[in-house]
Amino acid sequence: MTMDCVNSMELLAVDSPYELLFKAVLLIPISHYLLGLFFVLLVFLYNFLEMHVLGDLLSGFKGQPVTLTYNSSSQVYHDVVSKCKILHGRYLSTPWLCSPHLQTGFLHFFGRPPFVNYKRQLYITSDGGTIALDWLMNVDVKIPGTQLNDAAQNNGKDPIMIVVPGLTSDSDSSYVKHLVFKMAKSGWNVVVSNHRGLGGVSITSDCFYNAGWTEDVRKVIDHLHCQYPEAPLCAVGTSIGANILVKYLGEDGSNVPLIGAAAICSPWDLSICDRFINRRLVQKFYDKALTFGLKGYADLHHDVLSRLADWEGIKKSRSVRDFDNYATRIVGKYETVDTYYRRCSSSSFIGNVMVPLLCISTIDDPVCTSEAIPWDECRLNKNIVLAITQHGGHLGFFEGITAKSVWWVRAVDEFFGALQSSPLYHRKKEISVPSIDPPESLIDQAPYLNVEEDGMVTAVRSEPIADVGVQHKEDINQNKSEDVIPHAEEIDHSTRDKENAKIELIGSSDITGTLEQDASGITVPVKKCLNQISRHNTKSLWLLAYIAIITTWPIAGSALLVFLKKKFQNFFLGPSLRR
């Protein structure tokens, strides 16, 4: 015993504790370090991407309940929402999209949208701007490819759904197609009101849209109400489109000619969202992505925007706030960016909403933070029901193992279905809608559209709008059956405006017929001319690879652990047997 103590003391005298610890560390195999590093990286990604697969697993993949906020005396809840099973159920996201960032990224790069064949109208505003209205009729979904007469397609009483897309989104966006197809299949005639300069249409005036620009939505809704006075009108806004829609509902109050509305993933308070999107590293990624989209939008309309805004500032913008400072604020004539955010936030207009409104948001929205949700304001308004889910991302909400279904689309469809069978839907309203003078409500029904080299579609004219006739030409009927707007012949741009300077417009005094009677002269089948390559770039491969790793890890990880266990077991047993 004494000799052992002496030997131990001699050993400690030779080697320090740190040297012994270092030697012990060197004895650990490198594969163990790699395995530990892998688990550390996995934990980091799990938290960084805000994944919730473990929570779903512990709950038995039952999903999280939907939280409803409403006034206790709300007729909208008692007559409509109380009958909606989806809103009273649970939402379970697709297992391999168990993160708000995966949901949002999958929607942007893939989305799995249904096939939609729009018919286009070009709405000319009073300031000369052009708005693309893309229609999907319910008969086109129920009986695709069938030629029906005007009376069979629409009797002027079918309900109409107006869709207001999000920032830099148009009718070709995946989530818009999901919504449009679902509502058309349920019997609605759906029209997507694209923002100015989007949907393949050029900017034809000095006016641009922004997060609080409600004039375009107001004019389009008033036009449709005057054109189809017996058709019930409803509207759905998404993201920035939801902010615009709610602000419009609050501004006009009881004068809104809508039966109901829905706001999906609204930012609510732009100032709060601005601070949120610059808070964390992952949010800054979204800020960069949105800025990239806004700068691409600016490049499409360089000729107009460079004249109205600070083009050098736009080019060097590194955030949405920078772009709003150099472009949106200047064009919209706001003193500062914060002034623009305060005046355009829809949360200040919620108290004056007078139509049934369903608001859907999610706690883990990586773009429009839940911190901006106006819980108390929605609870005080008897016309609003707020539905909150724990997961879903920004407009994602994919569900099912194949991610072919979008939860909020099903919820909106059920909400409006319940609204149609409620007393609120048939309630008569005394709405004074201002008459639309011909210069303020004009629809392009001519085939004379300039399709420029960059794919932008421009409505051109050389004579005053008020003097334009309402004649139908044979070329219009020929273009109706085409699926693609024909490219303009190669002619000199300086003379093309003179040669093709006629555009036939129809005024409000002539638009009292049915939907398809107007469509016979003014609709033009359209194929999107926007650049879609950016939506399917190399980033998609990285996203697919990550999804594949997350999906196969439970099986591959278990096999790897069994293999390493056997290998290391033999490694440790070998020296002990030799002893």
Collapsed DSSP state (helix, strand, coil) of residue 24: helix
**DSSP secondary-structure letter at 275?**
H
Under 8 Å CB-to-CB from 8, ≥6 apart: which residues?
Answer: none
Collapsed DSSP state (helix, strand, coil) of residue 177: helix
Residues 493 and 298: their CA atoms lie apart, in Å, by 22
Q: Tokens standing for 476?
A: 């219009």
Return the closest-CA partner of residue 53 out of 109, 88, 103: 103
**DSSP secondary-structure letter at 261?**
E
Q: Tokens standing for 52?
A: 């919730």
Residue with token string 């069994």: 562
Q: Which residues pair with 130 in a beta bridge?
A: 124
Q: Are 282 and 101 in contact (CB under 8 A)?
A: yes
- Catalytic hit among 174, 394, 444, 518: 394
Q: Tokens standing for 333?
A: 């004539």
Helices (H), 399-464: 407-420, 423-426
Decide the pairing of beta strands 505-506 and 189-193. Answer: unpaired
The distance from CA 250 to its chain's CA centroid, rounded to whole angstroms, is: 22
Helices (H), 268-394: 270-276, 281-300, 302-308, 311-315, 320-323, 329-331, 337-344, 375-380
Residues 61 and 96: their CA atoms lie apart, in Å, by 12
Decide the pairing of beta strands 449-451 and 457-459. Answer: antiparallel
Q: Are 397 and 362 in contact (CB under 8 A)?
A: yes
Collapsed DSSP state (helix, strand, coil) of residue 351: helix
Residues 318 and 321: their CA atoms lie apart, in Å, by 8
Q: Are 223 and 436 in contact (CB under 8 A)?
A: yes
Q: Are 179 and 265 in contact (CB under 8 A)?
A: no
Return the closest-CA partner of residue 350 out of 257, 219, 432, 245: 245
Residues 341 and 275: their CA atoms lie apart, in Å, by 11
- Catalytic hit among 170, 222, 364, 365: 365
Angle at alpha carbon of residue 462, lines to 133 and 298, rounded to 5°: 50
Q: How many CA atoms lie within 13 A of 62 on its CB side?
A: 7
Residues 165 and 177: their CA atoms lie apart, in Å, by 11
Helix (H) or strand (E) holding 478: helix 474-480
Q: Are 176 and 132 in contact (CB under 8 A)?
A: no
Catalytic: 365? yes
**DSSP secondary-structure letter at 345?**
-
Helical packing angle, 407-420 and 174-185, nearest 10°: 30
Q: Are 90 and 63 in contact (CB under 8 A)?
A: yes
Collapsed DSSP state (helix, strand, coil) of residue 381: coil
> Could you give the C-alpha distances from 381 to 344, 386, 423, in angstroms and in order?
20, 10, 19
Return the closest-CA partner of residue 348 out of 247, 210, 218: 247
- Catalytic hit among 99, 171, 239, 508: 239
Task: State the catalytic residues.
Answer: 239, 365, 394
